[in-house]
Structure 1
Amino acid sequence: MCTMLQSLILTLALLLCRCLAVDDDPHPTLPGPRTPVPSLYHQRYSEQTFIGTHDSVAVRTAENRWSLSGNQYFNVSVQLQAGVRLLQAQGHRDPDGSSEIRLCHFNCALMDGGSLVDHLRTVKRFLDANPHELITLLFVNTGPALEHWAQAYFSTGLDLLSYIPPQSKRDGYMHLEDWPTIADMVSTNQRLVTFLSGGADEGRVPYLLHQWDYVFETNFGIESPEQYSCAPARPRWWDPSYIPSRLSLVNHFLYAQFLGFRYPNATYANTTNAAGFHVGELGEHAVRCQSVYQRRPNFLLLDFFSEGQAFEVEHGMNAY
Structure 2
Amino acid sequence: MLGLSALLPLLVVPFASAAPKSRATTCNGHAELCDRSYGNVTFMGSHDSFAYSDDPLALARDQEVDIPSQLDLGVRLLQAQSHMNGDDLHFCHTSCILFDGGKVVDYLTVVKTWLDSNTEEVLTLLFTNPEAVSLTDVWKPAFDDSGISDLVYVPPNLPMKQSDWPTLGDMIDSGKRVVVFMDADSDPSQVDFILPEFDMIWETPYGYTDDSFPCSIDRTSNAQSTADHMYMINHSLNLKIGDITISDPGEADTTNGVDSIVAAADKCVSYSEDNTYPSFVLLDFVNLGDAKAAVDKLNGF
Task: Output the TM-score relative to the length of structure 1.
Answer: 0.80
After superposition, what is the alpha-carbon deviation per residue over 1:266-286, rounded to whole angstroms, capped at 9, x for unaligned? Answer: 11111111112xxxx222112
* Deviation (angstroms), 1:307: 1.2
Task: Kindly indicate whether the alpha-carbon contact (under 8 Å) linking 2:227 and 2:271 is maintained by their aligned counterparts in 1.
Answer: no
Matched, 1:287 2:266: yes
* Deviation (angstroms), 1:114: 1.1
Q: Name which of 149, 157, 164 aligns with 2:154.
A: 164
In 2, the alpha carbon distance for the partners of 1:317 and 1:57 equals: 26
Where structure 2 has 5 or more consecutive residues not aligned to the other structure, the ranges are 1-27
Matched, 1:192 2:178: yes
* Deviation (angstroms), 1:237: 5.5
Counterpart in 2 of 1:15?
A: none
In 1, the alpha carbon distance for the partners of 2:254 and 2:223 equals: 31
The residue correspondences of 1:36-55 to structure 2 (distance < 5 A) are: 36-55=29-48
SS at match of 1:142: coil
Q: Relative to total residues, which structure has the larger strand share, 1 or 2? A: 2
* Deviation (angstroms), 1:290: 3.3
Partner AA of 1:195 in structure 2: F
Counterpart in 1 of 2:117?
A: 129
Counterpart in 1 of 2:63?
A: 72
The residue correspondences of 1:264-303 to structure 2 (distance < 5 A) are: 264-276=247-259, 281-293=260-272, 294-303=275-284
* Deviation (angstroms), 1:236: 6.0
Counterpart in 1 of 2:287?
A: 306
SS at match of 2:249: coil
Counterpart in 2 of 1:260?
A: 243
Q: Name which of 126, 134, 144 aligns with 1:138.
A: 126
The residue correspondences of 1:180-219 to structure 2 (distance < 5 A) are: 180-219=166-205
* Deviation (angstroms), 1:288: 2.6
In 2, the alpha carbon distance for the partners of 1:164 and 1:237 equals: 21
Partner AA of 1:156 in structure 2: S
In 1, the alpha carbon distance for the partners of 2:236 and 2:221 equals: 20
Q: Name which of 107, 116, 124 aligns with 2:104.
A: 116
* Deviation (angstroms), 1:319: 1.6
* Deviation (angstroms), 1:229: 3.1
Counterpart in 2 of 1:90?
A: 81
Counterpart in 2 of 1:18?
A: none
After superposition, what is the alpha-carbon deviation per residue over 1:206-255, rounded to whole angstroms, capped at 9, x for unaligned? Answer: 011111122111111111213x233221126599xx73311111111111
Task: Kindly indicate whether the alpha-carbon contact (under 8 Å) linking 2:199 and 2:223 is maintained by their aligned counterparts in 1.
Answer: no
Task: Output the TM-score relative to the length of structure 2.
Answer: 0.85
SS at match of 1:131: coil
Instruction: Show structure 1 runs of 4+ deviating over 3 A.
Output: 236-239
Counterpart in 2 of 1:13?
A: none
Task: Kindly indicate whether the alpha-carbon contact (under 8 Å) linking 1:138 and 1:194 is maintained by their aligned counterparts in 2.
Answer: yes
Task: Kindly indicate whether the alpha-carbon contact (under 8 Å) linking 1:37 and 1:319 is maintained by their aligned counterparts in 2.
Answer: no
In 1, the alpha carbon distance for the partners of 2:115 and 2:204 equals: 29
In 2, the alpha carbon distance for the partners of 1:238 and 1:218 equals: 18
Q: Name which of 220, 235, 246 aligns with 1:235.
A: 220
In 2, the alpha carbon distance for the partners of 1:230 and 1:221 equals: 13
Partner AA of 2:29 in structure 1: P
Q: Name which of 206, 219, 225 aligns with 1:220.
A: 206
Partner AA of 1:288 in structure 2: K
Residues 236/254 of structure 1: CA separation in 2 closer, same or farther (3 Å cut):
farther
Task: Kindly indicate whether the alpha-carbon contact (under 8 Å) linking 1:230 and 1:292 is maintained by their aligned counterparts in 2.
Answer: no
After superposition, what is the alpha-carbon deviation per residue over 1:123-170, rounded to whole angstroms, capped at 9, x for unaligned? Answer: 10111111111110000111122120111011112111100001xx22
Counterpart in 2 of 1:5?
A: none
CA RMSD of the aligned region, Å? Answer: 1.8
Structure with greater Cα Rg:
2
* Deviation (angstroms), 1:70: 0.4
Task: Kindly indicate whether the alpha-carbon contact (under 8 Å) linking 1:116 and 1:152 is maintained by their aligned counterparts in 2.
Answer: yes
